Amino acid sequence: MQAILQCGRYNLPLNTGRPLVMGILNVTPDSFSDGGQFYSLDLALSQAEQMIAEGVDIIDIGGESSRPGVQPVSLEEELRRVMPILYALRDCGKPLSIDTYKPQVMREAIAAGADLINDIKGFREHGAVEAVAEADCALCIMHMQGDPQSMQRDPRYGDAVQEVSGFLSDRVKVLEQAGVARARLCIDPGFGFGKTLEHNLALLNNIGKMQDETGLPVLAGLSRKSMLGSLTGKPVEGRLAGSLAAALAATAQGARILRVHDVAETVDALKVWTATMVGPVGTKQKQEEEQE
Ligand code: PT1
């Protein structure tokens, strides 16, 4: 595994024994036409400030929800939501990620200084590979079966782990052929994106294998997802404990980046985890460091 993720203005260490924490910054639609834009910008900025105080490593800005069943937003609306935040946070001292699958948003975000492009469609939209190839930002390639509107209707796989790994490897090849350095890449099985609980659990239990086979860092997004609701019976606002347990399960598998809503709680859980860790994560990463 590479020691560093090349992430725009930043080189992020991957083998510290503790995964990086990516904090989710959702840009909510304006509730009022008058002054509403300033209100939501203010809210997003104070949320970012709080995440930074809590120890976030990467801030992931998203202008379109990809929760199951949600309708897409237009290019213009997504840019209106995301770009002011990106400009306002540019000098906050933390790498900025943009959660988008739209090539035009990628281009504008990169021009404005985005450090990472996080694409739930794995750079499959027409023009997406070209939009990011020449830049120096990191890329997160995620797997999704279907699209957010319909993906949870009837997800099916022969072998979910095989198919997701195969898809991710194919996208890695395409990006590398377009000139993207491997040091810019991370991969993501896409928890909850066209997967049953069984598929999600199989993928979670194979993060380590996926990472070993590709040699690329895995990013895991499990925070507050419905798979945790299925396991605990809790609604989305009652899933903090489940989210922390899932984050640690992914950490035990060696995941290098965790995408989370609850930064302070996750950072605490990881501090305790790494301090007490004598098992495969710490051992494995130490061995890799010694080899470097
Ligand atoms: C993710 C992710 C993401 N998740 C990356 N980006 C979302 N790289 C947005 C549910 O089942 O995992 N990795 N960007 C949010 N999407 C979902 C999907 C939210 C499913 C909730 C569910 O509840």
Are 27 and 82 in contact, with CB atoms under 8 Å apart? yes
Query: Ligand 1: does its nearest atom lie under 6 Å from the Cβ of 191?
Result: yes
Structure confidence at residue 277 (pLDDT): 81
Please tell me the distance between residue 92's alpha carbon and the centre of ligand 1 in angstroms. 25
Using alpha carbons only, give the angle 181, 124, 95 rounded to the nearest 5 degrees.
50
What token pair was written down for 11?
Answer: 């080189």
Quote the CA–CA distance of 149 and 63 in Å, as a whole number. Answer: 16
CA distance 22 to 61: 10
Residues 204-227 as b/e (b if ≥16 CB within 10 A, e otherwise) read bebbbebbeebebbbbbbbbbbbb
Query: Do you know the residue count of the chain?
Result: 292
Q: What is the pTM of this model?
A: 0.94
Cα gap 78→101, rounded to integer Å: 11
**Which pLDDT score is estimated for 121?**
98
The predicted structure's pLDDT at residue 226: 97
Q: How many domains does the chain have?
A: 1
Secondary structure letter of residue 18 according to DSSP: S
Dihedral (C-alpha) 268, 269, 271, 272: value to the nearest 10 degrees?
A: 120
Q: What is the pLDDT of residues 264-288, one digit of tens each?
A: 999 999 999 999 886 555 555 555 5
> Which CA distances in Å does 189 have to 10, 170, 179?
24, 13, 23
Taking the CA atoms of residue 21, residue 52, residue 61 and residue 251 in that order, the dihedral angle to the nearest 10 degrees is: 10
CATH number, domain with residue 118: 3.20.20.20
Ligand 1 neighbourhood includes 171 CB (under 6 angstroms): no
| Per-residue CA distances from 259 to 86, 154, 180, 190 (Å) | 18, 25, 23, 11
Q: How far is the CA of 226 from the centre of ligand 1 (A)?
A: 10
* Residue to probe by mutation, ligand 1, list 139, 142, 168, most atoms within 8 Å of CB: 142
| SS3 category, 22 | strand
Residues with a catalytic annotation lie at: 225, 259
pLDDT < 70 stretches in the chain = 28-39, 278-292
Whether 68 is in the pocket of ligand 1, judged by its Cβ within 6 Å, is: yes
Token pair recorded at residue 19: 């995964």
Range of 134's domain? 4-291
Do the Cβ atoms of 97 and 140 come closer than 8 Å?
yes
Place of tokens 């209106």: 80
